[in-house]
A and B are shown apart, each in its own frame.
Chain A
Amino acid sequence: MLSKVYSGCVTGMDPYSVDVEIDISGGLPAFSVIGLPDASIRESRDRIRSAIKNSGFVFPAKKITVNLSPAGIKKEGAGFDLPIAVGILSATNVIDPKDLDGTLLCGELSLNGKLKPFRGALPLAISLKNKYRSFIVPKANAAEAANVKEMSIYGAASLKDVVEHIKGIRRITAESPPPGYSTRIEDNGTDFMDVKGQEHVKRGLEVAASGGHNILLIGPPGAGKSMLAKAFPTILPGLSRKEALETSKVYSMAGELRDSGLISRRPFRAPHHTISYAAMAGGGSWPMPGEISLAHNGILFLDELPEFRRDVIETLRQPLESGEITIARVQRSLKYPSRFIFIAAMNPCPCGYFTDPKKECRCNPYQIQRYLSKISGPLLDRIDIHLEVPCLNYKELSSRRNGETSGEIRKRVNRVIRVQAQRFNKKESNTFRNTYMTARDMEEYCPLTKDAEEILKTAILELGISARAYDKILKISRTIADMEEITTIEAHHIAEAIGYRCLDRGLWT
């Protein structure tokens, strides 16, 4: 008695379909799974046996061979419990094999036959939507999978429900796709209007939001670095549906997408500085996405940057450059997307008051040097905008809040993003921002006026700005010019951009 059930599995961000073949033959009772299963699949025997029995069916005392094909790829996860159980019931004629055609099954079983959610329902549904008509998933995964409209998604509570559904005794109603995607603007209670003073920092953040630039905030304790970073998401446009799908796929892999459907809010990840390398980059022998991937299409905020472990900070180098991270392990190497705006905050020295005009700094030059050297040149190089956040004076502190609201700023940011989308439309997706420009792009899209060239030249020669920073300055000035909807970069754009490179100007050293 042979049966075949269709299922799938996701490793990294690559989903693939897996055929579950089951043969039941005479002989001593045995249960073997072949086709490179991992430990959790090999363990599935006992879950499946109990689940079948406790759902009121008979588990055959026969020799059962389960083959997961293609046999060459390693399979992982408990999502194969359901297809194997259904396959056994099909091989014992409880279910007509014909009823299984065009149906994809995934889910973890508990001993009493209830279905438990598995990881990766959304990426699986997206990539296999054209191969199958329907997808039976545990109820907890139904909402996320229902974002794929090309398949009927059925959320089942138990193995019994699945069998009754397949046999047509009691059909499960198909999960209705979520009513039109609507993005949610971040509203975390911190509006730009609430931030007093710091006008040039706000301006810098607006530039960063517009061009997708990374930011380093430097200032004494209590200046409001964290508050500014927290307010930053409120000036970003909402996630587009495409971005939401990308981000939700990562969350689905991390098992953090439950009941809620899509992630419709830009992620804001702010891990504590004690975070380990694996939690930041993604890890485990079967690597799970880390903080940088969970921040995909959103913001990664590292407060007190020098306090982070050096290897953790250095991890960011590749993702900041390429928008994805490759995690290599013994079994295989995986890629996770990680395109985010990076915001870091730090004090200028260990005591924090080096740049403060009033309070005296207690650090000696050696201490400051050591503190700053925790952040490597290559990483600083990848941060476009360095902003100094000074302490507020009494006048600013006591002033009534009167700045612009986040909503007003967001409107402008949206406009600049549209300008960029038009420019890069032909070559990339419309999520492409100035910060991702290559050398060739910059040659094409960053024409300078005579004055602008002159200033840039002076800056390089006399301020000792490195050639590496040259690119960053061009990209930032491109964004500033875009904010004024001017095609040719002018002198004051360059000048402002140079102003955002305070570390290049050798502020302390």
Chain B
Amino acid sequence: MGRRTNREIGQLGETIARKYLIAKGFRIIDANFRTPFGEIDLVAEKDTFTVFVEVKTRTSREFDSPLYAITAAKQKAIIANSLVYLKKNGLCDAPARIDIIAIDLDSNGDLKILEYVKNAVEL
């Protein structure tokens, strides 16, 4: 298989994450929600919680876990995005949290490792 673009890798990861969440009993309510601060990969819902999911996909574990890529600046952006979403949908008082899914793919684009971090960033 040829080299993929980063965008394709990201989409591949998001598809996997979506399947994973559904299998865990989440209901996906939105995806790629754009705000002035960036984008929310997935918005799901489970047990009355609105869950914002950031998906980070990498194709090689040569370096560290993809979790290291969620820098402090990125965490700030994720929080801002989530707040925009809550405000827009009138959910400010509803329970919400941010989860992160880190996905490692092998060179064929198949799933190698999936790390799921619940409540990764405090909202």
Interfacial residues, chain A to chain B (CB-CB below 8 A):
26-29, 61
Say yes or no: B120 contacts A27, CB within 8 Å: yes
Say yes or no: A29 contacts B118, CB within 8 Å: no
Find chain B residues with CB under 8 A from A61 CB.
64-65, 67-68, 115
Q: How far is the CA of A133 from the CA of B115 in the complex (A)?
A: 42
Closest beta carbon of chain A to B119's beta carbon, Å: 8
Closest beta carbon of chain A to B118's beta carbon, Å: 7
The 9 lowest CB-CB distance pairs between A and B, nearest first, are: A61-B65, A28-B120, A29-B67, A61-B67, A29-B68, A28-B70, A27-B120, A28-B67, A27-B117
Q: How far is the CA of A28 from the CA of B118 in the complex (A)?
A: 9
Chain A CB within 8 A of B96 CB: no
Chain A CB within 8 A of B44 CB: no
Q: Which residue of A lies closest to B68 (CB)?
A: A29
Find chain B residues with CB under 8 A from A27 CB.
117, 119-120
Find chain B residues with CB under 8 A from A26 CB.
117-118
Find chain B residues with CB under 8 A from A29 CB.
64-65, 67-68
Say yes or no: A28 contacts B75, CB within 8 Å: yes
Q: List 7 A-B contacts (CB under 8 A).
A: A26-B117, A27-B119, A27-B120, A28-B117, A28-B120, A61-B67, A61-B68
Q: How far is the CA of A27 from the CA of B64 in the complex (A)?
A: 15
Scoring B64, B100, B121 by chain A CB atoms within 10 A of each residue's CB, the highest score goes to: B64
Q: How far is the CA of A415 from the CA of B94 in the complex (A)?
A: 89
Q: Which residue of A lies closest to B64 (CB)?
A: A61
Q: How far is the CA of A364 from the CA of B100 in the complex (A)?
A: 85
Closest beta carbon of chain A to B100's beta carbon, Å: 7
Closest beta carbon of chain A to B76's beta carbon, Å: 13
Find chain A residues with CB under 8 A from B75 CB.
28
Closest beta carbon of chain A to B54's beta carbon, Å: 10
Find chain B residues with CB under 8 A from A28 CB.
67, 70, 75, 100, 117, 120-121
Q: How far is the CA of A61 from the CA of B120 in the complex (A)?
A: 13
Find chain A residues with CB under 8 A from B68 CB.
29, 61
Extra A-B contacts (19), CB below 8 Å, given A29-B67, A29-B68: A26-B117, A26-B118, A27-B117, A27-B119, A27-B120, A28-B67, A28-B70, A28-B75, A28-B100, A28-B117, A28-B120, A28-B121, A29-B64, A29-B65, A61-B64, A61-B65, A61-B67, A61-B68, A61-B115
